Amino acid sequence: MLRVGLTGGIGAGKSTVASRLAEHGALLIDADTIARDVVEPGTPGLAAIVAEFGDGVLAEDGSLDRPAMAERVFNDDTARSRLNGIVHPLVGERTAELLATAADDAIVVHDVPLLVENNLAPSYHLVLIVDAPADVRVRRLAESRDMPERDARARIAAQAEERQRRAAADVWLDNSGTPDVVRSEVDALWTERLVPFEANVRLRRPAPWGRTLVEHDPVWQEQARRVLDRIRLVAGERAVRADHVGATAVVDLPARDVLDLQLTVRSAQDVDALAPALTDAGFPLADAVSPVPDAVLHGGADPGRPVSLRVLVDGSPAARRALLLRDWLRADVDARAEYARIKREHADVPGIADTATGAASAAETVGDVRYAEAKRMWFDDVTAKADRWAAETGWTP
Ligand code: ADP
């Protein structure tokens, strides 16, 4: 099962995208609908609200008077958290009930208007954000829902800003064109990413990655941050720290398009205990032998964002070394240039330059081994330098 979070500002086109995903077979779970259902007349939810806020929040027909309730909590953080304290657990329970009915191979799309505002992104395998410029949204809301411009603008202003949404988005769907444009983007996303992602999660296999050395891409840092947030959420208190390491973490360096991530945990027992939860969250155990001593290797199941995740016990010399070499390379422009040269030189062998579908052929394996060996030798040579740099600068992990 794959769990996708779908959000976007009001009028951006969430419902349009959600219904296209449903046409492909996604199971939709609509947070707004659930939030209304759990406080319908006669529900324990509504009874709890009346017990807390009095029957001044009821309409004449006994249903929740939403505008009155909204007014009550609008400028009152305590009241709002009391209300959320009643509604959120009920929404959580109902969502869990719906999830329990989903097929093993379901692609579940959670339509959650306040996903970004409530920092929920890390709890999904993937976050999909639909956006359109504010003026376009205001116009569409006026046409489709008769919403006055002032109301539309006030709602837009109360929601997250584009910058916050972009930071949370694994996939950004621009819906400023015609509905056909966004629908065909959804079609491609479904076939090329969601379907294989779901299969990889269910079959517990990491997505393959290309073997080509590519120029540094600034989006790697942002992508790593999002993936690390997921990993930290899964690891909880067992995590000591989670970091982006390797060449994709160092600006300027060419790299293969796979993010190297490193999670350090408190004990060897934590390494084993976390494996099932990491697997469910989309980071199954990898078959490959770990190039790092003492690390257990996981891989990301998302074909749109290949990830290699090593899990080590805190205090492991290998974990420290990965952080040291990263920071030293970040600080030393000459070292960076030299490492980039070594990488380019040794990547230029058969197998590395070919973008393979992941199943390494014999030539690729030979190429990979040589490439890995060249990098290892260079790192062995420079470790003393990096250690001196650490001593001089007072570097600690
Ligand atoms: P949301 O669910 O994000 O609030 P909707 O999907 O309901 O937004 O879209 C708001 C309105 O704009 C709807 O009436 C919808 O039909 C319309 N709409 C959505 N996408 C487009 C588009 N690309 N071009 C024109 N109208 C659109």
Tell me the percentage of the chain whose pLDDT exceeds 70.
Answer: 95
d(CA 306, CA 16): 29
pLDDT(341) > 60: yes
Q: Where in the chain is the domain with CATH 3.30.460.10?
A: 209-393
pLDDT(293) > 80: no
Give distance in angstroms: CA of 176 to centre of ligand 1.
Answer: 10
Q: What is the pLDDT of residues 246-264, one digit of tens each?
A: 999 999 999 999 999 999 9
Give distance in angstroms: CA of 305 to centre of ligand 1.
Answer: 29
Is 17's C-beta closer than 6 angstroms to any atom of ligand 1?
no
Q: What is the pLDDT of residue 364?
A: 59
Q: Which one, of 288, 294, 264, 291, lies nearest residue 358 by Cα?
A: 288
For the segment(s) 209-393, the CATH number from 3.40.50.150, 3.40.50.1980, 3.30.460.10, 3.60.20.10 is: 3.30.460.10
Q: What is the pLDDT of residues 312-337, one digit of tens each?
A: 999 999 999 999 999 999 999 999 99
Q: What is the pLDDT of residues 345-382, one digit of tens each?
A: 887 654 443 333 344 445 556 777 788 888 888 988 99
- Mean of the per-residue pLDDT values of the chain: 92
Is 231's C-beta closer than 6 angstroms to any atom of ligand 1?
no
Measured CA angle at 294 (ends 290, 295), to 5 deg? 50
The dihedral through the CA atoms of 27, 28, 33, 35 has a sign that is positive
Is 11's C-beta closer than 6 angstroms to any atom of ligand 1?
yes
Q: What is the pLDDT of residues 95-114, one digit of tens each?
A: 999 999 999 999 999 999 99
Measured CA angle at 180 (ends 175, 185), to 5 deg? 65
Q: What is the pLDDT of residue 353?
A: 39
CATH class label, 2-202: alpha beta
Q: Which residue has the higher pLDDT, 145 or 371?
A: 145
Q: Where in the chain is the domain with CATH 3.40.50.300?
A: 2-202
Q: What is the pLDDT of residue 348?
A: 62
Determine the straight-line distance between the first and last CA of the chain, rounded to whole angstroms: 37
Look up the pTM and report it.
0.91
How far is C-alpha 153 from the chain's CA centre?
Answer: 29
Pick the atom of ligand 1 nearest to 144's CA. Answer: 14
**Average pLDDT, integer, range 66-83:** 90
Query: Strand, helix or coil at 2?
Result: strand
Is 175's C-beta closer than 6 angstroms to any atom of ligand 1?
yes
Give distance in angstroms: CA of 140 to centre of ligand 1.
Answer: 6
Kindly report the protein residue whose alpha carbon is nearest to atom 9 of ligand 1.
13
Backbone angles phi, psi at 295, to 5 degrees: -100, 140
